[in-house]
Amino acid sequence: LLYRELGAPLLAGSVVVVADLEGQVHFLSRQGGATQLRLPTDGTPPVGAPVLSGTTVLVATRGGGIFAFRP
């Protein structure tokens, strides 16, 4: 994740969720840091930190997108 300009992280259960400058959302193991999942958004950077709503992770982007993920 070096040089990916990561945004603010979110701790959600057993994962850490963080979005990068290219709009990729990374789900990392909270215990060892291993990548568990990587999902795209609209290709623009995140606006603020991801937010947890129940079991859903919400990510807003500069392109105006709001994306919902369930890890």
- The model's confidence at residue 49, banded by pLDDT at 50, 70 and 90, is very high
What integer pLDDT is reported at residue 3 of this predicted model? 93
47: Cβ contacts below 8 Å, ≥ 6 apart: 60, 61, 62
Mean pLDDT of the chain: 94
What integer pLDDT is reported at residue 51 of this predicted model? 97
pLDDT tens string 4-31 = 999 999 999 899 999 999 999 999 999 9
Q: Is the pLDDT of residue 71 over 80?
A: no
What whole-number distance in Å separates Cα of residue 54 and Cα of residue 31? Answer: 21
Q: Can you spell out the DSSP letters for 17-61?
A: EEE-TTSEEEEEETTT--EEEEEE-SSS-BSS--EEETTEEEEEB
